[in-house]
Structure 1
Amino acid sequence: MPASITLSRLSWSTPEGRRLFSDLDLSFGPERTGFVGRNGVGKTTLFKLIAGELPPASGSVVTNGKLAVLAQAVPQVAAETVADLFGVAPALAVLDRAERGIATSAELAEADWTLEARLATALARFGLDMPPATALASLSGGQRTRVGLAALLFAEPDFLVLDEPTNNLDRDGRDAVIAMLATWRAGAIVISHDRELLETMDAIVELNSLGATRYGGNWSHYRERKALDLAAARHDLSTAEQRLAEVARDRQLASERKARKDGAGQRKRAKGDMPRILMGARQNRSENSGGNAALLAERKQAQAAAAIETARNRIEILQPLSVTVPPSGLAAGRTVLRVDGLCGGYAPHRPIIRDLSFSITGPERVAVTGPNGSGKSTLLRLLTGELPSSTGEIRLDVDWALLDQSVGMLDPSDSIRDNFRRLNPGADENACRAALARFRFRADAALQEVATLSGGELMRAGLACVLGGGRPPALLILDEPTNHLDIESIEIIEGGLRAYDGALLVVSHDRCFLEEIAISRWLELAAAD
């Protein structure tokens, strides 16, 4: 039987009773399918249901074929090694005993003499060169992810099920995953916010509160379909607005006709030309008819208003954020940052950054790239004074703001509104609310406590507070701003940064993000020794 995964009437709710999805029907064959959707919509829960880690609340998951599963975080057990993760520790032990001349004849008969070479090849495919006895605990998060991916391919499965496989990976690691999936010809289900990775997919499934919708083709085809959906929503809005105007006009005309008719009846009654009983019957019919017409008009008006609200909600969901922010006032020739011969790190005798020199002039947009461990985040901490430099000079002559992954500039115990007023003391309440609304924090949404925000909302709130004031800083420094964010949140951030006219210094491995915010120059850091 061909390899397949079939979900039938699958349902799941959180322990608090919030329904994530219900009666979900999906099937997967030998193709690569990308799963997308907002954070919290249930993608990782669906991953666990497919992987067999959770039982369905109702419905079923039927798998035909061998499954290989990679969670967001590769499990780390004390003393576990790379060989343990590959499931080859006993077989390697046999080879070791054979080399030392102490293996039994039965072990020699079963020994896999190609194992070590195949293991090294699998690791090399993801840029890794390490002995099988390497402890997983000694590896970085990105290295563990790459080892996990290598182990999956080594197992030769019929289906790959991957949850955010490029998270925490540097550029080389992301390229290795993208290249692997681009050539993968068996089945794969990939939950990801990495648009570059999603370009290698054969289909995209969007999971939302209404269920799941399958789109044939890769990410670009999916976006084209969403653009058509946006155009349809705009057409629906225009049609609903016209309908509401027509209903209002018809209601006004009906009201005027009734007023004329009632006036004529009153004049007849005043003349006494009509019997009293007949006049009463006509008046009752007129009142009943008028009442029914009014109810019908109200119903039509309510339906048109509801259609307008539905279309507007769809447009807000589908339409990328486009905002206007005040100018920073940064002159094109102004020196923003100058670094000469910089050395520094966490230990004075072991600098991570060594003899680095560069400058930023005017509204340049500079990306800091390099492999994990090359010192990208360390560089930002040196530039902002969080870490002291060992030698060299840093001249940062303009006002600046740093948005790290935790958006530490915001007080988590305060509301978004209170944080904005604290960071922009010159803004009055109206200016505050208008600025936050441009970043989709309208009305009560602006009163949310920062500690309750999702990762995407947190980054958006940080941008609103930094860029929405009277004059944004001349330099904005960003440290991996898209990590763990869903695509909608990333696109909102991109919209805000495109509207900003100051200088940018950005640490990111997300190539699509860097292209969208129009990075003009790359500063490549070398791998640490």
Structure 2
Amino acid sequence: MPALVSLSGLSWSTPDGTPLFTDLDLTFGPERTGLVGRNGSGKSTLLHLIAGDLPSAPDQMRISGSVAMMRQEALKRPSDTIADLFGARDALRLLYRAEAGLADAGELAEADWTLSTRMEAALLRCDLAVEPQTPLAALSGGQRSRAALAALIFAEPDFLLLDEPTNNLDRAGRKATIDLLQGWKGGAVIVSHDRDLLEAMDAIVELTALGATRYGGNYSAFRQRKAKELDALERDLVHAEKVRDEAVRRAQEAAERKARKDSAGRNGRAKGGKPKILMDAAKGRAEASGGAAARLRDTRREAAQEALADVLQRIEVLQPLRMDVPATGLPSAKPVLRLDGVTGGYGPERPVVRDLSLNIVGPERIAVAGPNGSGKTTLLKLITGEIKPHSGVVEVAVPFAMLDQHVGLLDPMLSLRENFQEMNRGAGQRAAHAALARFGFRAADALRRAGELSGGERLRAGLACTLGGTPPPMLLILDEPTNHLDLDGIAALEAALAAYDGAVLVVSHDAAFIDAIKPHRTIHMREWPSSRSARE
């Protein structure tokens, strides 16, 4: 029997009773399927249901074949090693005992003599050369993600379940992941907003408030078909509204004609120009004819209304994601940032950034690129003053705001309005509400606690609290801003940055995002034998 995941009438609600999806019918076969949708649409929950982490009714899910899921939480246990990710700690310990001559005959018979070689091969497939005893805490976030993917491949399941597998990966890691999946012969269901990764899919499934829709082909094919569907729905909606309005107009005109005739009939009866029996007969015929015509008009009006309702049921009603950024007024010749011979990091004996000089003038856009561990985030911390340089000069000449991928500047225990007022001293409640509304947080949304927001909502709230003040900062520093955004959120951020007239310094491995914001220059961080530096 071929590997298959079949969902039939699957429903799931959040603990507060909010339905994520209802009566979901889906089938995943031995192909690579990208799962897309807005934050909160239930993508990760669906993966956990398939993996068996959440209970479902037996008749709602049928799985033939083995399933393995890449779990981000498994990468956060500080005492674990690479061997623990592979589930091979005990088997490797036995091999080490055997190599040391300490194993007995029974243990030697149980030893998996090819284990180390197969683990090394799986790690190399993910562009990672580390020993099995390496602690996860010694690896960067991107290295841990690659190690988890290698462990998943090593298990050789029929289905891979991956939730944002390229988050925290540099461009080399993203390419290695895409290459690995392109060579994968089993089934794979992948939640991602990485447009390059989605281009490598065989099919795209979109989760919306209306359910799930499958599209054959990669992300570009999905976008083309989606655009055609939306255009067709828009035409259907315009036609249905036109037919409905025409039916209402005709009914109103008929009602007005009838009223005029009834008025004329009453006037004629009052004058008494005809025998009463003839007038009563004429009145009866008119009423019968008028009643039939009214019923026909009502039928047509109801049919038009039903046709309009049918079209509306096929249209997902979404609140547009907009981020309205006020002008900073940054002059084109204004010095913004100066780094002169900066060397720094977390220890003077091994600086992460070495002898780096950089100047930003006016509304320049600078991208910072480089592999994981090359010092990009350290550079941002040197610029913002979070850490001090060992040598050199760092001067920020304009007000700035820094947003990391977790938007750590927001206090999770405070409401959005309170966070805004904390960052914009002197701003009243009305100003806070107005600024938050420009970024899509209207009315009661401004009273939500920051800790309750999704990743995409947190970034939008962080932008609202920093750029929504008066005056807004003239320099915006972003560290992997797209990591927790859905595709609509990324598009909204790109549009907001296109309208922003200040300077931008951004670290991102998302090539499509970097292309969209059109940087004037790119700083390439590079590794040194004992330290690191940068070049343009």
User: TM-score of the superposition, structure 1-length normalised?
Assistant: 0.84
Q: Which moved more, 1:146-155 or 1:416-425?
A: 416-425
Q: Distance in 2 between matches of 1:497 and 1:347?
A: 35
Written as runs of structure 1 = structure 2, the 5 A alignment for 1:107-506 is 107-108=107-108, 111-273=111-273, 282=283, 285=287, 289=291, 314=316, 325-346=325-346, 351-407=351-407, 413-415=414-416, 419=420, 423=424, 433=434, 439-441=439-441, 445=445, 448=448, 450-464=450-464, 466-467=466-467, 472-506=472-506
Q: Distance in 2 between matches of 1:315 and 1:20?
A: 15
| Aligned counterpart, 1:96 | 96
Q: Which moved more, 1:422-431 or 1:150-159?
A: 422-431
| C-alpha distance 271-230 of structure 1, shift in aligned 2 (>3 A) | same
| C-alpha distance 157-316 of structure 1, shift in aligned 2 (>3 A) | closer
Q: Distance in 2 between matches of 1:417 and 1:272?
A: 80
Offset, 1:181: 0.8
Structure 1 contact 10–58 (Cα < 8 Å) conserved: no
Q: Distance in 2 between matches of 1:342 and 1:254?
A: 83
The one-letter amino acid of 2:6's match is: T
| Aligned counterpart, 1:68 | 68
| Aligned counterpart, 2:534 | none
Give the alignment's Cα RMSD to 1 decimal: 3.9
Q: Distance in 2 between matches of 1:265 and 1:416?
A: 67
Deviations 1:319-342 (A, max 9, x none): 8x6777554433444433221112
Structure 1 contact 68–157 (Cα < 8 Å) conserved: yes
| C-alpha distance 99-420 of structure 1, shift in aligned 2 (>3 A) | closer
| C-alpha distance 276-500 of structure 1, shift in aligned 2 (>3 A) | farther
Structure 1 contact 241–308 (Cα < 8 Å) conserved: no
Offset, 1:362: 3.2
Offset, 1:203: 0.7
| C-alpha distance 304-471 of structure 1, shift in aligned 2 (>3 A) | farther
Q: Distance in 2 between matches of 1:428 and 1:105?
A: 76
Q: Distance in 2 between matches of 1:58 and 1:209?
A: 24
The one-letter amino acid of 2:153's match is: L
Percent of aligned pairs with the same amino acid:
53
Structure 1 contact 36–205 (Cα < 8 Å) conserved: yes
Offset, 1:136: 3.3
Offset, 1:218: 0.9
Q: Distance in 1 between matches of 2:304 and 2:443?
A: 26
| C-alpha distance 145-294 of structure 1, shift in aligned 2 (>3 A) | same
Deviations 1:323-375 (A, max 9, x none): 77554433444433221112334556664333211122333221122333333
Structure 2 contact 322–440 (Cα < 8 Å) conserved: no
Q: Is there any run of 5+ residues in structure 1 with no aligned partner, and where?
A: none
SS in 1 for 2:341: strand
Structure 1 contact 398–475 (Cα < 8 Å) conserved: yes
The one-letter amino acid of 1:3's match is: A
Structure 2 contact 433–442 (Cα < 8 Å) conserved: no
The one-letter amino acid of 1:216's match is: G
| C-alpha distance 228-364 of structure 1, shift in aligned 2 (>3 A) | same
Asked if 1:10 corresponds to 2:10, the answer is yes
Q: Which moved more, 1:380-389 or 1:324-333?
A: 324-333
Asked if 1:43 corresponds to 2:52, the answer is no
| C-alpha distance 411-144 of structure 1, shift in aligned 2 (>3 A) | closer
SS in 2 for 1:74: helix
Offset, 1:382: 2.4
The one-letter amino acid of 1:174's match is: R
Structure 1 contact 9–60 (Cα < 8 Å) conserved: yes
Structure 1 contact 72–164 (Cα < 8 Å) conserved: no
Q: Distance in 1 between matches of 2:511 and 2:409?
A: 26
| C-alpha distance 491-247 of structure 1, shift in aligned 2 (>3 A) | same
Structure 1 contact 166–173 (Cα < 8 Å) conserved: yes
Q: Which moved more, 1:480-489 or 1:417-426?
A: 417-426
Structure 2 contact 399–475 (Cα < 8 Å) conserved: yes
